[in-house]
Chains A and B, each alone.
Chain A
């Protein structure tokens, strides 16, 4: 029988880690991840897990320790946010290059500077090219379920790629929801035993890991690394299907949730907790006769270009919502990917980008409503109001063309 508990997103992920029962967990605190590791540390102190909890002196050390222990054949995890992820940046590429199936929950928080401790996507988006798989969660239940599935995705023999499971800082991490925690024995059976592809600790098969690689073979090694992440979409779907059949959940188990998209004319693409509000706005629009739809993207890396393009092909106007800015790029990272996915497609929707919610700036139904109003206008005029707009930003709009 699954337990129904009132948990914060961080607690839900800590429960997932408890059920995974990893061999090694490296921990360093950073708001808003701290309560996740604190909860897990409680489980360690109470003897409810067998994990070796290593309290390191920084996030750089946390990821280094995790890489070292995973390479030694131990199932290892850590968790972080924002500048903590930034401090780990050097090692992220190493974890991916060594094909280590590390699972790391990242509680999305704004990167400095100035310093902000609240939720936005700039941290994981800043690490989008480091070779990790990125799975976004909408709520505590998804954060719990994605963490469990991530182990199976990462450790799959054709994938062997580290996975980041994200949850919005404070909004999901500290908000209490009713979370269904599935039966531990059943979860453990689903997770299975870790069978490392290689280990540093086998004296009969000694290896060298992380050797010097000059220009004659570095490029070849980095291209061969693509095999793993490119094999992951099918595995993500298979694992999701297996999970849903076993546990009977009602969350998203595919690349994205296409909500009311079948006959949608106006659509928004959104990631994370904002999808909850967006769904309500779509329902409201529909009740007023507007053919609105929403795509909630779950798998950001690898980016499901074909599938997104297909889902948006009949849409007349599409707004991509980004909770981070790609400085010097075409708005935000999700916009860049979606626009690229639509290239060469005919017909293609009128596309526009809205940056929102940086540093935990609230996004309400009224803002999402305004996006749909702008999309309606875009269809009438045949072009977007603005290529890149902002929601709930204190800006002087008089300087803009109407």
Chain B
């Protein structure tokens, strides 16, 4: 994991302000999940429910189509799999890591 802060207390920015925007993107939140989603593009009907419901914006979408999962940020909550409507097999299935 990248270390954002370095140095002694005298070298810190005032008030612990982070002098950048959008740093959440650099922070790995995908390391502590027990399960991970596995995406099958063949079964997927591109309804984008998984993308709508993902609380971490971890469903990768290109040109309006789901292409995969961002495992750097995915916490393995399983909501995408829960919401996936395809039958008899879901396009996203949770697997133990």
Are both chains from one complex? yes
- Show the binding face of A for B, using Cβ within 8 Å: 97-100, 160, 197-198, 205-211, 213, 216-217, 219-221, 223-225
- In the bound complex, residues from chain A placing their C-beta under 8 Å from that of B8 are 220
Minimum CB distance partner of A213 in chain B: B16
Is there an interface contact between B5 and A209, defined as CB atoms closer than 8 Å?
no
A76 to chain B, nearest CB (A): 16
Q: Please tell me which one of the listed residues B10, B15, B16, B20 contacts residue A206 in the complex, with CB atoms under 8 A apart.
A: B20
CB atoms of A207 and B9 under 8 A apart: no
Closest CB in chain B relative to A131 CB, distance in Å: 11
Name which residue of chain B comes closest to A221, CB basis: B16
Please determine whether A223 and B20 come into contact, CB atoms closer than 8 angstroms.
Answer: no
- Say how far B40's CB is from chain A's closest CB, in angstroms: 35
CA distance A320 to B52 in the complex (A): 65
Number of B positions contacting A (CB below 8 A)? 15
Q: Note all chain B residues with C-beta closer than 8 A to A198.
A: 14-15, 17
Q: Is the CB of B9 within 8 A of A208?
A: no
Do B16 and A207 touch (CB < 8 A)? no
Q: A160-B14, A197-B14, A207-B20 are in contact. List 11 more A-B contacts (CB 8 A).
A: A98-B15, A98-B16, A99-B15, A198-B15, A206-B21, A208-B23, A213-B16, A221-B16, A224-B10, A224-B12, A224-B14
Question: Contact: B5 with A207, CB < 8 Å?
Answer: no
Whether A211 pairs with B16 at a CB distance below 8 angstroms is: yes
Q: Which residue of A lies closest to B15 (CB)?
A: A99
Neighbouring A residues of B12 by C-beta, 8 Å: 217, 220-221, 224
Interface set, chain B 24-72, CB cutoff 8 A to A: none
Q: Is the CB of B19 within 8 A of A205?
A: yes
Q: Which residue of B lies closest to A197 (CB)?
A: B14
Chain A residues with CB under 8 A of B89 = none
- Minimum CB–CB distance from B21 to chain A (whole Å) comes to 3
A-B contact pairs, 22 of them (CB 8 A): A97-B15, A99-B14, A160-B15, A197-B15, A206-B20, A206-B21, A206-B22, A207-B19, A208-B17, A209-B17, A211-B23, A213-B16, A216-B5, A217-B16, A220-B8, A220-B9, A220-B12, A221-B12, A221-B16, A224-B9, A224-B14, A225-B15
Q: Given the complex, which residues of A lie within 8 Å of B22, measured CB to CB?
A: 206
Report if A217-B21 is in contact (Cβ < 8 Å); known contacts: A209-B15, A224-B10.
no
Interchain CA distance A99-B13 in the complex, whole Å:
11
A197, A205, A207, A209: most-surrounded residue (chain B CB, <10 A): A207
Question: Nearest Cβ distance between residue B20 and chain A, in whole angstroms?
Answer: 7
Select from chain A the residue with minimum beta-carbon distance to B6: A217
Residues of A within 8 A of B18 (CB): 207-209, 211
Query: A235: shortest Cβ distance to chain B, in Å?
Result: 16
Selected contact of B20 from candidates A100, A208, A224, CB within 8 Å: A208
Q: Which residues of B contact A197 (CB under 8 A)?
A: 14-15
Set of chain B residues within 8 Å of A219, measured between Cβ atoms: 9
Instruction: Say yes or no: A97-B16 contact (C-beta < 8 A), given A206-B21, A207-B21, A208-B21.
Output: yes
Residues in chain A near residue B14, CB distance under 8 A: 99, 160, 197-198, 224
